């Protein structure tokens, strides 16, 4: 199925126009249904306690346990520093994801470490992600097909791959990262429509918050121009000036992250649970990585027999010459070439 880009950037349909649609196509009704769907699927996790990395970031993290007082240290030190009572991290290069940890500290301040509140906030935040995705699908990707947009958002909402991030409190870093990225895309699209500088600045702010949620936001930066180039024909999408504020925000984040994690050194861990590659050869390392990519791709379409942690002993070590590694390379290269060709022709 090919979805051609819109011929121009158009504003979202007015509320009155939306009310002329059948009830199942109206924005409000679709939003309500998706929120109810998210809570119906993941609501049972509200009964859960703390688990896994929650103890590192919440229960046994001295900065989180300080509430508002600990926010300064959360912003200026490695994400796991509060656990070790020093700015030293067992993972090479450290981690800097302060936004979700700040939310944990605020929850401790107001609710004194109630895991059920934290689980509820995770679900509510995920519901916000789904609603933001629906807006993008209805107004940018499937502009003339609100029912298709709804079904895509619904599949995203209930996909088993998202269970770990929603049901595990620590997974809020991924949820926040994607939420603020989607909001950044929405407000940048509004800027392309009305040329309001305020919308560009709001988009940049949301992108910066996405970066503060998780470093993965750096990779998402490149999806912003790709998305707009495919689905709009606005001249501004081809102008580097449109993305300059986001690029500056990314450079600022890199500088802040370096300042917070510089004391961590960079010595790779020899613990297979934190660094499963430390004893592998080049061919074994990348053969395993590529074969794992194929597993992730399969899980998108056939989400069966999944685990919350594909770590040591969960994945077979294979060389680059392995059949599945080679198939994975071919599949991903094919998708990359196809995407590049269709970006140029403005359809997917």
Banded model confidence at residue 314, pLDDT cuts 50, 70, 90? confident
Beta pairing partners, 4:
347
Mean local confidence (pLDDT), 6-23: 63
Query: Residue 59 carries which DSSP code?
Result: I
Separation CA 19–CA 124 (nearest Å): 26
Beta pairing partners, 146:
none
Locate 160 and state its tokens. Answer: 């088993």
Residues with Cβ within 8 Å of 103's Cβ and at least 6 positions away in sequence, in order, are 121, 172, 176
Full-model pTM: 0.86
Query: Residue 87 carries which DSSP code?
Result: S
- Average pLDDT along the chain: 85
Residues with Cβ within 8 Å of 274's Cβ and at least 6 positions away in sequence, in order, are 90, 91
Statement: residue 54 has pLDDT above 90: no
Mean local confidence (pLDDT), 99-115: 92
Separation CA 348–CA 337 (nearest Å): 12
Banded model confidence at residue 317, pLDDT cuts 50, 70, 90? confident
Statement: residue 301 has pLDDT above 80: yes
pLDDT at 40: 96
Banded model confidence at residue 44, pLDDT cuts 50, 70, 90? very high
Please tell me the least confidently modeled range out of 150-164, 175-189, 200-214, 274-288.
274-288
Locate 252 and state its tokens. Answer: 């600022």
Q: What is the pLDDT of residues 288-300, one digit of tens each?
A: 899 989 988 888 8
pLDDT at 192: 87
pLDDT at 268: 60
Q: What percent of the chain has pLDDT over 70?
A: 85
Q: What is the pLDDT of residues 187-235, one digit of tens each?
A: 999 998 888 889 999 999 999 999 999 998 898 888 888 888 778 776 6
209 backbone φψ class: left, alpha, beta (φ>0; ψ -120 to 50): alpha
Q: Any alpha helices (H) in 195-322, and if so which ranges?
A: 197-213, 217-220, 223-231, 240-261, 282-301
């Amino acid at each position: 199925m090919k979805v051609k880009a819109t011929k121009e950037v158009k504003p979202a349909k007015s509320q009155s126009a939306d009310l002329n649609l059948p009830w199942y196509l109206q924005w409000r009704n679709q939003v309500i249904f998706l929120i109810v769907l998210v809570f119906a699927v993941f609501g049972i996790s509200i009964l859960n306690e703390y688990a896994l990395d929650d103890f590192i970031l919440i229960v046994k993290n001295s900065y989180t346990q300080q509430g508002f007082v600990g926010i300064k240290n959360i912003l200026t030190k490695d994400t796991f520093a509060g656990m070790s009572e020093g700015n030293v991290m067992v993972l090479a290069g450290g981690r800097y994801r302060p936004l979700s940890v700040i939310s944990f500290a605020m929850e401790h301040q107001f609710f004194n470490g109630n895991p059920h509140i934290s689980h509820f906030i995770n679900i509510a935040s995920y519901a916000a992600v789904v609603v933001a995705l629906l807006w993008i699908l209805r107004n940018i990707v499937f502009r003339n097909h609100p029912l298709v947009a709804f079904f895509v958002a619904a599949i995203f909402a209930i996909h088993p791959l998202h269970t770990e991030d929603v049901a595990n409190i620590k997974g809020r870093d991924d949820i926040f990262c994607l939420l603020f990225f989607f909001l950044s895309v929405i407000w940048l699209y509004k800027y392309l429509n009305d040329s309001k500088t305020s919308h560009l600045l709001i988009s940049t702010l949301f992108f910066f918050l996405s970066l503060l949620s998780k470093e993965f936001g750096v990779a998402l930066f490149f999806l912003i121009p790709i998305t707009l180039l495919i689905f709009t024909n606005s001249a501004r999408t081809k102008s580097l000036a449109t993305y300059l504020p986001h690029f500056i925000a990314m450079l600022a984040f890199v500088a802040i992250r370096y300042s917070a994690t510089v004391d961590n050194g960079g010595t790779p861990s020899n613990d297979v649970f934190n660094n499963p590659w430390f004893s592998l050869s080049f061919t074994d390392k990348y053969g395993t990585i590529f074969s794992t990519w194929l597993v992730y791709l399969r899980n998108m379409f056939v989400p069966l027999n999944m685990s919350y942690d594909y770590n040591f002993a969960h994945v077979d070590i294979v060389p680059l010459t392995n059949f599945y590694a080679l198939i994975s390379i071919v599949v991903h290269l094919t998708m990359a070439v196809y995407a590049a060709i269709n970006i140029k022709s403005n359809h997917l």
